Every structure is written in structure tokens, then in C-alpha cells.
Amino acid sequence: MKRIAWLAALSMLAGCAQSPAISPALTPQQPATQQSADARTRADLHTQLGAAYYEVRNFSVALEELNEALKSDPGHGPAYNMLGLVYMELREDALAQRSFERALQLNALDSDANNNYGWFLCQRKRYDDGIKHFMAALKNPLYQTPDKSYVNAGVCSRERGDDATALQYFERALGIHPTQPTALYQLADLAFRRGEVQDAKSYLVRLGRGGAPFSAEALWLALRIERRLGDREAEASYGLQLRKNYPSSRETQALLNRQYE
């Protein structure tokens, strides 16, 4: 919320800059290129605000900010990308698809848009199309988080029943980011399902060294690993953490019902 307040303050400043009293008509000292730059700045600001409201799931205000961004700069690709994410959460699939496609029409190398569109497609069971966009995201040498697209491609592959390909994607993610949490969890889960219990535990040990708290899924997997290995004390410890930290989760319900498999 501090981020939203800070961005809102900047938004007020940007709004002031649009008033006639402060921004007179174009003069030789204020060429059209400067006006375009100002419009781009306002669009960036409103897009950041839209992203901040999206993060706190205030989708109505996020939509308002993103539409303001496009009023300032109708060709602002990042705003269309964020619109796709918001419409995806609202289950407005046609609008989400249209927004992602518009973002990529404006910049086919936009890795974030490719990654997000790929995730949208995978969630709609269009697995091949989704993975194609994850791979497109990876073609951009300036992409700062390629491990995420490899992880998403792995999850998408698992959802379509291709565990072998998924494993390769998760390993590539670890090659870029050795402590990538989702990749470590997914590899642990794959190993456990293959009966390679000690390998599964090793992946979770690496996950624990990352410092982030275990999710309900990771705690449930760790509990079942220790149960399979016969370490009742460790099993009980993970069970306690699961009940304490995630009392309403389906994993806790499975534990209470003793549904280990």
C-alpha cells in the first residue's frame, strides 16, 4: 500500500502537468517529440499504478488506471499486457486474449507479455500455444527472468501429462537460478512420484535453504517424504507447521483425514 500511495502522489503531479496553466500550447521550445515523451511518461505512471492495484486485487481501480494509460498513449504495450492480466483474473477471456495480442502486436519481443499470454493459454488448456509463447519470451536476450518462463513451461508440460519434458524445463530454470523455488518444488514432487524419495528430499532441502517459508504444498510433500522414509519426528514437525500455518488448506484437510496418497 505504501507503493500505491507513492505512485498516487506521482500521479497527482502528472495530472498537474497536464493542466493548461502549467503546460501551455506547443511552442518552438516544446516540440511534438517532447509532447510524445510526456504522454509516454504519463502512460508509464498509470501502468505502474494499475500494476500496484492489480497486486492487491483491486481490479476495478486497476482497470481505471490502465485505461488512463492508454488515453495518454494508445500504443503503450505494457498497459495492454497488464490489462490482459486483469481480464484474466476477471475471467474475461476474450478481452484478456485481445489485450495480450495487442501488446505483442506492438512489440513481439515483449518477454513479459509473451510469458503472461503463455500462462493464460496454458490455464485454458491450450498447452502447445502456451509453451510457444514461453519460448518466444526466452528469445529476448534482455529478458531479466528467463527462469520463470522455463518454470511456466514445465508446469504447462506437467498439466498436459508430459513429465519428461517438464523435468527438462525445470532443470533449465535451475541452471539459470539455482534456488528457483517453484522449480525445486516441482522437481521434488516429480522425484517423489517416481519413488525417488531421497532425491525428492534433497530438492526440498535446497528449497529450505532459500529462506522463504514453505507453502502448504511443499509442507505436505515434505511430510509424506518423511513418512515414506520412516522419520516420524520430522513427519510430525511438518504436520504441526502445516496445521498452524495453513489451517484451511486442502493439504491440512488431507492430513486430518489421513489421506497421504
Tell which residue, 153, 157, 225, 151, has the closest CA to residue 191: 225
The answer as to whether 255 is a domain residue is no
Domain-located, residue 193: no
In a domain, 67, yes or no: yes
Close Cβ partners of 84 (under 8 Å, ≥ 6 residues apart): 96, 97, 99, 100, 103, 113, 116, 117, 120
Question: Count of residues for the chain?
Answer: 261
Domain contains 87: yes
> Measured between alpha carbons, how far is 203 from 178 in angstroms, rounded to an integer?
11
- 166 found inside a domain: no
Q: Is residue 82 part of a domain?
A: yes
Sort residue 167 into left (φ over 0), alpha (ψ -120 to 50) or beta. Answer: alpha
Q: Residue 58: its pLDDT value, please?
A: 96
Residue pair 184/207 in contact by the 8 Å Cβ criterion:
yes
Which is nearest to 218 in space by CA: 194, 253, 183?
A: 183
Q: What is the pLDDT of residue 78?
A: 96
* 185: its cell numbers: 518444488
Report pLDDT for 68: 95
Per the structure block, which three cell numbers stand in for 71? Answer: 488515453
* The total number of structural domains that make up the chain: 1
Expressed as residue numbers, the domain containing 10 is 1-18+36-107
* Amino acid 31: pLDDT: 56
What's the pLDDT at 212? 83
pLDDT in tens, the chain (261 residues): 445 444 444 443 333 333 223 233 334 445 557 777 788 899 999 999 999 999 999 999 999 999 999 999 999 999 999 999 999 999 999 999 999 999 999 999 999 999 999 999 999 999 999 999 999 999 999 999 999 999 999 999 999 999 999 999 999 999 999 999 999 999 999 999 999 999 999 999 999 998 889 999 999 999 999 999 999 999 999 999 999 999 999 999 999 999 988
Question: Domain containing 42 — which CATH number?
Answer: 1.25.40.10
Domain contains 234: no
**Residue 34: predicted pLDDT:** 72
Q: For residue 43, is it within any domain?
A: yes
**Whole-number pLDDT of residue 188:** 98
Instruction: Supply the pLDDT for residue 32.
Output: 54
